[in-house]
Chains A and B, each alone.
Chain A
Amino acid sequence: MRRGSFYLGMALSAVFVLAALVSFIWTPYDHEALNIANRLKPPNAAHWLGTDHFGRDLVTLIMVGARTSIAVALVAVGIGIALGVPLGLMAAASRGSWLDEVIMRGNDLVFAFPSLVIAILITAVFGAGAVNAIIAIGIFNIPVFARVTRGGALSLWEREFIMAARVAGKGRVRISVEHILPNVANLLIVQGTIQFSLGILAEAGLSYIGLGAQPPVPSWGRMLADAQTMVAFAPHLAIVPGLAIVFTVLGLNLMGDGLRDWLDPRLRRARR
């Protein structure tokens, strides 16, 4: 059963990554071409998912929108890993010291900020757009990865092979990079998947209130915002991008759960 849901997650995630990749070389229609005569058409043979208020094909918009969602979430996770992992490694290497304390208290502080409000503040200060959305989401990924890295690294520091490395004369930095990092990689992959799906939700939310990707760049959240006033007579405009978000996030979450079970032998044993 667990394995089944993992494969389902893989399949769902793959569909959307593929859709995003394919959209670079081919889409059913041009996503910027307006065709007012053909607007608000429900799903039909020519337009499988229908058309929007400008007559644009929804399949095309979903494909190109996947590109935006994936790009924003991926870079935001990248920021979190690039800054959070070194911080976590540093905290663990100097555990108990003032540095550890400062890093962890800093983490708590970032966690204390209501992320959505701060994301809105950041985009309001520096202007709405995909790049600022990435930064806003990325900042909140930093403490997540720092905490996961530190947590995983702390127990490793007590292990014998690390002792051996220390006896061999390796410094803290070298041990962190050569021995600790590869051993927390599993945790990071799992957390990365979760943060990636949260990033897609956050991007959709920010775009929905007009602070994420700006038109004409298609984005799922933006499509939902446009659909809001037309939901009464063209419900497919709201249903289609919403389902795209749900399936992508669901796929990533199922994949993340499956990966965790698979990569963490302790959980495999204790699996319920």
Chain B
Amino acid sequence: MLVKYPRRRLADFACKIRIWTSGRAGPNLALMLRYALKRFASLIVSLIIASAVIFVVTEVAPGDPAAFMLGINAQEDTLAALRAELGLDQPKLQRYFSWVGGMLAGDFGTSYTYRTPVAEVIADRLQVSLPLALYALALSTLIAFPAGLFAAARRGRAGDLAVMGATQLGVAVPNFWFAMMAVLVFAINLRWFGAGGFAGWDAGFAAGMKSLTLPAISLALPQAAILTRVMRSALLDTLGEDYIRTARAKGLSRRQALWRHALRNALIPVLTIIGLQFSFLLAGAIIIEQVFFLPGLGRLVFQAISARDLIVVESVVMLLVFAVIVVNFVVDLAYAAVDPRLRSRI
């Protein structure tokens, strides 16, 4: 996704951080707590609505899971018995509550197709998806930080234009196409990597990381392009601040002012975007997992949908939504901690 970061807000940020860190206007703890409680209440409401929406949408899905599992020749009484075993014969409302109640207790139910607890299936897939998301996040940060710094330090010059041009290209390239091209070059022609599949962590850390490398690069590139732009514009915003001029007047070079003063203040919006990108990477890997045949969460949802394994679909989607909502909550609190006006407004 393309993230256009509002410039005004960045400037506000830098300003507030400065005031806060100088100790002249610390955050009012009582106010902060009230805001946090209010946001927490809305977090709970969001989660309830989200779970209801997910439940309803999957319930609408055509196809009887029991019939799907037993095949077309199944006897009616076997079907009924299986439905009872899966709890599909209970009223919908009751099933919703037992699903939500179970999740709160850490019990996600039993997968229709795998016949194992959903929590186990998810934990299994997270072993691929989580490292993949972290790997991609690390790569995108490693690319974006130097690139953003480089561009900001050379604003308007050839280096800046080249970096900005590259980021335009980065957001325009579909990651799955990039993945295909990477397979063509690095797996088929150069034979540096396998074309797909996951070696498994049992084969050793290095082997596991190797099979995640091409997918992680493919996932990271568009994210790195977005992050580079955020990094550059955050730096340029702070570079325009009075305290940078003061620092320069005190004799610091442009580069010293950038490293010692601007960078630290520019990091806050950048860290925010990194936080948001993480949940996107976790959920957004579905197509990349498809390209590389990786047994991750995305592929799990995809397979579960086609096998009518509703309980798995519901649980994974809920988990992803939960992750996004919680990250948003934390980000909002962080914003409020540094911008008192935001608190009083809400």
Contacts and interface: CB of A to CB of B under 8 A. Distances in A.
Interface in B98-120: none
A124 B305 contact: yes
Interface stretch (A14-22, A70-78, A115-123, A178-186): A115-123
A117 B286 contact: yes
A116 B171 CA distance: 17
A121 B308 CA distance: 11
Nearest to B323: A114
Interface string A101-124: 000010011011110111011101
Most chain B beta-carbon contacts within 10 A, residue among A111, A121, A194: A121
B176 interface: yes
Given A112-B50, A112-B328, A253-B172, A121 B177 contact: no
A220 to B, nearest CB: 9
Given A209-B287, A249-B172, A108 B177 contact: no
B204 interface: no
Interface string A190-205: 0000100110010011
Contact of B305 (A112, A113, A120, A247): A120
A75 B321 CA distance: 26
Contact of B174 (A5, A204, A228, A232): A204
Contacts of B57: 121-122, 125
A200 to B, nearest CB: 9
A245 interface: yes
A109 B321 CA distance: 9
B130 interface: no
Contact of A208 (B50, B161, B287): B287
Interface in B25-50: 42, 45-46, 49-50
Contact of A201 (B50, B168, B174, B321): B174
A109 B49 CA distance: 8
Nearest to A12: B172
A147 B306 CA distance: 34
Contacts of B283: 114, 116-117
B277 to A, nearest CB: 13
A213 to B, nearest CB: 15
A270 interface: yes
Contacts of A247: 172
Most chain A beta-carbon contacts within 10 A, residue among B173, B174, B283: B174
B257 interface: no
Most chain A beta-carbon contacts within 10 A, residue among B62, B176, B301, B316: B176
B199 interface: no
A117 B177 contact: no
A220 B172 CA distance: 14
A42 interface: no
A62 B4 CA distance: 30
Interface of B: 1-2, 4, 7, 42, 45-46, 49-50, 57-58, 60-62, 155-156, 161, 168-169, 171-174, 176-177, 180-181, 183-184, 188, 236, 279-280, 283-284, 286-287, 290-291, 298, 301-302, 305-306, 313, 316-317, 320-321, 324-325, 328
Given A227-B180, A231-B180, 17 more contacts: A105-B45, A108-B46, A109-B46, A114-B279, A114-B283, A116-B286, A121-B305, A201-B174, A208-B174, A208-B290, A228-B291, A239-B181, A250-B168, A250-B169, A253-B2, A253-B171, A272-B156
27 contacts: A1-B161, A108-B328, A114-B280, A114-B320, A114-B321, A116-B287, A117-B286, A117-B316, A117-B320, A120-B305, A121-B58, A121-B305, A122-B57, A125-B57, A125-B60, A194-B2, A198-B1, A204-B177, A205-B176, A208-B176, A208-B287, A208-B290, A228-B291, A231-B188, A242-B180, A250-B172, A272-B155
